[in-house]
Amino acid sequence: MRDTLRSKEYFDTFILEEEEDGVKMFEDCIAKGEIEEERIDYIKDEILRIKMGIIIAKYSRGDSVEEIKQEFEDMLDSFCESWDGEVYEDNLIFASIAYLLGIDNVKLKKIREKLMKSETYDYLIDFVLVGSDTTLDKSKVSFPRPYKKLLRSIECADKDALEKYLRGWYKGCQDSSWYDTHKIEDDNLYYGYWCFEAGAIVKRLGFDDENLKNEQYYPYDMVHFS
């Protein structure tokens, strides 16, 4: 187990329900022609979001990062076809996980091409995906205020700024749809809290992160996977 807020049994149930009552149900409905044509793209995007929740839940449960990587790669073709890219936070998480899992450069390029179609694609996401090879202007940041410390860590190789970002990350996410879902008892909505973008920046910049190993939201195992 990597998560400390819920039990293995909780994540077992969450993953099974999401796989059976989410992914399989929607995929079966599409296969049977039960979804109206104009809603198919929306449903395919929803399937991807459910799969991302499952992947994060499996990381929280303590599953092998190698197995998680395989599952992530299995959804890349669907991602390039159906991801709508409307939510900036989701795009940043997807890019960060892709980089942390060591997805090869050919696939990273496809992910980048897809995400670049989003109106909010910016320097931060591009840095996660290509590092110092980014050609985007540093001033091109869609949401500079919430990511101020993270951006400073990139621009100044400032590890202290990154640590401050990480330790204030959860509190700064109060507007996110997943915030405080661990407190909901009558529905399984929680898949784990992980600041994947901080891990991606640590890996890009080569920071020594031994002191972050036990930080609650830091995906240490994924940072050191490959």
25-60 pLDDT, tens digit each: 999 999 999 999 989 999 999 999 999 999 999 999
Whole domain around residue 214: which residue ranges?
8-223
Residues in the chain, overall count: 226
Q: What is the pLDDT of residue 226?
A: 75
Above 80 in pLDDT, residue 84? yes
Provide the mean pLDDT of the chain: 96
Above 90 in pLDDT, residue 168? yes
> Per the domain annotation, does 163 fall within a domain?
yes
Long-range Cβ contact pairs of 201-207 (< 8 A, separation 24 or more): 201/127, 201/128, 201/150, 201/153, 201/154, 201/162, 202/162, 203/99, 203/100, 204/99, 204/127, 204/128, 204/131, 204/154, 205/153, 205/154, 205/157, 205/159, 207/159, 207/162
> Per the domain annotation, does 131 fall within a domain?
yes
Q: Is the dihedral of CA 77, 189, 55, 140 positive or negative?
A: positive
> Per the domain annotation, does 178 fall within a domain?
yes
> Per the domain annotation, does 2 fall within a domain?
no
**pLDDT digit string, tens, across residues 191-223:** 999 999 999 999 999 999 999 999 999 999 999
Number of separate domains in the chain: 1
**pLDDT digit string, tens, across residues 91-145:** 999 999 999 999 999 999 999 999 999 999 999 999 999 999 999 999 999 999 9
186 band by pLDDT with thresholds 50, 70 and 90:
confident
> Per the domain annotation, does 3 fall within a domain?
no
Q: Tokens in use for 117?
A: 């179609």
> Per the domain annotation, does 51 fall within a domain?
yes
Question: What is this structure's pTM?
Answer: 0.96
Above 80 in pLDDT, residue 78? yes
> Per the domain annotation, does 1 fall within a domain?
no
